[in-house]
A and B are shown apart, each in its own frame.
Chain A
Amino acid sequence: MTFAGVDVGAQSIKLVILGDGDILYSRVSFTEEEGAIASQRLMEQALERLNLSFDDFSHAVATGVGRGTVPFADMQRSEQLCHARGAYWFFPSARTVLDIGAEGSRAMKLNDQGRVVDFAINSKCAAGSGAFLEAMTKIMEMPIGEMGMLAAGAKRKAKISSYCAVFAESEVISSIHRGVSKERIVAGIHESVVDRLIEILGKVGIREAIVVTGGVAKNIGIIKGLEGRVGLEMKVPPDPQLVGALGAALIARDVMSGKG
């Protein structure tokens, strides 16, 4: 049997096709098209590659902010449930899952069976999300990956105290004018994001093992910053941005096998 999970995020759409055993296909597509068209196209590409048709699918689950737009979804599930399910599949020891997406961050507390028992979400602004980091890359004129590497190796950090991306921009610019090194500034930027993430984690309570998912989990500066603050290892699955879609596909499989 074949199952699909689609995660329609703020910046990208992710698709995971799951067989009875392992992942058959996965893809991330950065698009500005609306969710319905983009998810349909992504699915058609997957079907062509796998030589399958829509009829071959047992169940499809959509998640993400645009989950309501996916035309072929049989069911919708929240990001909290999907990221937790995906993270638990990679790491059955996961008890805390932190998903850092483009426009939202959320922490989930899991019980020993991998069920979500509590969650917390960032407030409705860019603080603590990928959007904040992306806004900063423009001022620093530096790709996000490079910024993360630089932050991870920084010995000292500039103080970026503003929650708000707009005010933080002013702080960064004034640090540049004062001649503060790029390394210290980017370290400060990353620490500002880590501060917000620690707040969210604190709301659900931290229990080992901690798994970080979402596109921002690829940023080494954030991961090192979190590890430094929490004092514990952050487990990052391969392709962390796909974990939500994978979780959705796993939920689709659970539903059909009567476990969901």
Chain B
Amino acid sequence: MATEFGRWVENRHEAVKEWKERNKKGVVGYFCCVVPEEIIYAAGLLPVRITGSSEKLEVADEHLVMYGCGFVRSCFDLAARGVYDYLDSVIVPNTCDLVARMEYWFRAARPRPSTILMGLQAHPYVFYLIYPEKVTSAGVPRYLLMQLRLLRQHLERLTDTYITDEMLSQAIEVYNEHYRLMEQLDELRKQDPPLVSGYEAWEAEFASLLMPKDEHNKLMKAYLQEVSNRKEKPKEGVRLFLSGSAMDQEAARLCQIIEESGGQVVAEDVSVGTSYYRGVALDTNKPPMEAIVERSLAVPCPRSTVDATLVNPWPERRWNYVKRTTKGHNIKGAIFYNLGYCECRGLELAHFKDKFREELDVPALLLSGDYTPQVLEETRGRIEAFIEMIGG
């Protein structure tokens, strides 16, 4: 099973193209954890998370500022070079300034034929999801419901099919099972030593962002069974929490560097990975669109803010979430990996570092990267020193 996850992760573009060819179905790329995959899945499409690569940028510098997040610049570069041409549509939320601008750049870099109706694109390749900045105010669920109805219509036009509530309910069932299975994987990592290494767990998580959730669920059930019966445990190491920007197939090398330095990632809060499934389960007693809205608003994305009148405003909401994530994992240290220009995460790190020390008596290490493997490798010395400091 781990091998099958690895196949999707290592050859992600080929694996998705192969799936598309075999199933004769569409593929929709999207940015960020706030996009509800459930609606895309209900439409009979494969939702695929857009990520970058460590390849040298060829086109991005011509269009994007140098002082922008390396992850998004790389995603755009791949799109502009045609690597993402297999996508039938792209969903871009307004998560951060650079991601939001991909709404234009994905269209401009690879123009697609489109029907113009009354000055508007009737079938746009890119759908721009205007996700609320504040996620707790009274009118927010209604607002997001309206936005997600537009997304639903976009996908209906794309597939030329109505997405019925029944189709959404079926998707919800599949996704709720997925969230349950991922929580079970998390439980296995609470054991000492954990039954799976941090990198292996990341691979299982990341594969779920590329493959259909029903297939992933089947593999996960067998995988969890296999892991529970394992005789050989992963290498022991100092138990660490990892938090970071864009933990895709490039940045996940960090998990391996940590393991090679005597640590073991046993819990995490990373963009592209856990942050999308650590919300609440979808409420099957509610109308499906309302349940999807509720869950989407509960996704603990660091870009979101809350109503300023709340007793525990940002960043307390995020801190409480991070604290919950570490519960039961017996962590001895926390590593924060922040990509340069990622304000969403960068702004909360100093606060978290203090909180870890004050409330959990756990030291934290702040690392910064630029999405290049070279700079990632340079973090090794600091990680080694940090693990030594803890006593590894």
| A81 close to chain B: CB less than 8 A | yes
Q: Which residues of A contact B385 (CB under 8 A)?
A: 78-81, 119
Q: How far is the CB of A173 from chain B (nearest CB, A)?
A: 26
| Most chain B beta-carbon neighbours within 10 Å: one of A78, A79, A115, A124 | A78
Q: Which residues of B contact A4 (CB under 8 A)?
A: none
Q: Which residue in A65, A78, A118, A124 is a CB contact (below 8 Å) of B388?
A: A78
Q: How far is the CB of A199 from chain B (nearest CB, A)?
A: 13
| A28 close to chain B: CB less than 8 A | no
Contact present for A121 and B375 (CB under 8 Å): no
Contact present for A117 and B363 (CB under 8 Å): yes
Contact present for B384 and A78 (CB under 8 Å): yes
| A159 close to chain B: CB less than 8 A | no
| B389 close to chain A: CB less than 8 A | yes
| B381 close to chain A: CB less than 8 A | yes
| A116 close to chain B: CB less than 8 A | yes
Tell me the residues in window 117-168 of chain A with beta carbons closer than 8 Å to chain B beta carbons.
Answer: 117-119, 121, 124
| B382 close to chain A: CB less than 8 A | yes
| B236 close to chain A: CB less than 8 A | no
| Most chain A beta-carbon neighbours within 10 Å: one of B384, B386, B389 | B389
Contact present for B378 and A80 (CB under 8 Å): no
Contact with B along A69-80 (1 / 0, CB 8 A): 000000001111
Given contacts A117-B363, A118-B363, A124-B375, contact A81 B389 (CB under 8 A): yes
Instruction: Give Cα distance in the complex from A121 to B381, angstroms.
Output: 10
Q: How far is the CB of A227 from chain B (nearest CB, A)?
A: 27
Q: Which residues of A contact B378 (CB under 8 A)?
A: 124
Q: How far is the CB of A19 from chain B (nearest CB, A)?
A: 25
Q: How far is the CB of B26 from chain A (nearest CB, A)?
A: 44
Tell me the residues in window 367-392 of chain B with beta carbons closer than 8 Å to chain A beta carbons.
Answer: 375, 378, 381-382, 384-386, 388-389
- Total number of A residues with any Cβ neighbor in B under 8 Å: 13
Contact present for B389 and A117 (CB under 8 Å): yes
- Total number of B residues with any Cβ neighbor in A under 8 Å: 10
Instruction: Give Cα distance in the complex from A172 to B358, angstroms.
Output: 45
Contact present for A116 and B382 (CB under 8 Å): no
Q: Which residues of B contact A118 (CB under 8 A)?
A: 363, 389
Overall SS of chain B's interface: helix
Q: Which residues of B contact A78 (CB under 8 A)?
A: 381, 384-385, 388
Tell me the residues in window 336-392 of chain B with beta carbons closer than 8 Å to chain A beta carbons.
Answer: 363, 375, 378, 381-382, 384-386, 388-389
Contact with A along B9-34 (1 / 0, CB 8 A): 00000000000000000000000000
Instruction: Tell me the nearest residue of chain A to B374, going by C-beta.
Output: A124
Contact present for B363 and A65 (CB under 8 Å): no
Instruction: Give Cα distance in the complex from A65 to B381, angstroms.
Output: 8
Instruction: Tell me the nearest residue of chain A to B385, going by C-beta.
Output: A78
Instruction: Give Cα distance in the complex from A119 to B385, angstroms.
Output: 9
Contact with B along A48-79 (1 / 0, CB 8 A): 00000000000000000100000000000111
Q: How far is the CB of B364 from chain A (nearest CB, A)?
A: 9
Tell me the residues in window 98-116 of chain A with beta carbons closer than 8 Å to chain B beta carbons.
Answer: 115-116
Instruction: Give Cα distance in the complex from A116 to B363, angstroms.
Output: 11
Q: Which residues of B contact A119 (CB under 8 A)?
A: 385-386, 389
Q: How far is the CB of A50 from chain B (nearest CB, A)?
A: 29
Contact present for A77 and B381 (CB under 8 Å): no
Instruction: Tell me the nearest residue of chain B to A76, going by C-beta.
Output: B384
Q: How far is the CB of B376 from chain A (nearest CB, A)?
A: 12
Q: Which residue in B363, B382, B388 is a CB contact (below 8 Å) of A81?
A: B388
Contact present for B389 and A80 (CB under 8 Å): yes
Instruction: Tell me the nearest residue of chain B to A104, going by C-beta.
Output: B381
Instruction: Tell me the nearest residue of chain B to A123, going by C-beta.
Output: B368
Q: Which residues of A contact B389 (CB under 8 A)?
A: 80-81, 115-119
Q: How far is the CB of B200 from chain A (nearest CB, A)?
A: 26
Instruction: Tell me the nearest residue of chain B to A203, going by C-beta.
Output: B366
Contact with A along B97-113 (1 / 0, CB 8 A): 00000000000000000
Q: How far is the CB of B320 from chain A (nearest CB, A)?
A: 24
Instruction: Give Cα distance in the complex from A78 to B387, angstroms.
Output: 10
Q: How far is the CB of B363 from chain A (nearest CB, A)?
A: 6
Q: How far is the CB of A220 from chain B (nearest CB, A)?
A: 29
Q: Which residues of A contact B381 (CB under 8 A)?
A: 65, 78
Tell me the residues in window 217-245 of chain A with beta carbons closer than 8 Å to chain B beta carbons.
Answer: none
Instruction: Tell me the nearest residue of chain B to A115, going by C-beta.
Output: B389
Instruction: Give Cα distance in the complex from A45 to B285, angstroms.
Output: 80
Contact present for A121 and B382 (CB under 8 Å): yes
Q: Which residues of B contact A80 (CB under 8 A)?
A: 385, 388-389
Instruction: Give Cα distance in the complex from A65 to B375, angstroms.
Output: 16
Q: How far is the CB of A61 from chain B (nearest CB, A)?
A: 11
Instruction: Tell me the nearest residue of chain A to B382, going by C-beta.
Output: A121
Instruction: Give Cα distance in the complex from A118 to B382, angstroms.
Output: 11
Tell me the residues in window 144-191 of chain B with beta carbons closer than 8 Å to chain A beta carbons.
Answer: none
Instruction: Give Cα distance in the complex from A65 to B378, angstroms.
Output: 11
Instruction: Tell me the nearest residue of chain A to B367, going by C-beta.
Output: A121
Instruction: Give Cα distance in the complex from A116 to B392, angstroms.
Output: 13
22 contacts between A and B (CB under 8 A): A65-B381, A77-B388, A78-B381, A78-B384, A78-B385, A78-B388, A79-B385, A80-B385, A80-B388, A80-B389, A81-B385, A81-B388, A81-B389, A115-B389, A116-B389, A117-B363, A117-B389, A118-B389, A119-B385, A119-B386, A119-B389, A124-B375
Residue numbers of B with Cβ under 8 A of A are 363, 375, 378, 381-382, 384-386, 388-389
Question: Which 4 interchain pairs have the tightest Cβ spacing?
Answer: A78-B385, A80-B385, A116-B389, A81-B388
Q: Given known contacts A78-B385, A117-B389, what 5 new A-B pairs fall within 8 Å (CB)?
A: A78-B381, A81-B385, A117-B363, A119-B386, A124-B378
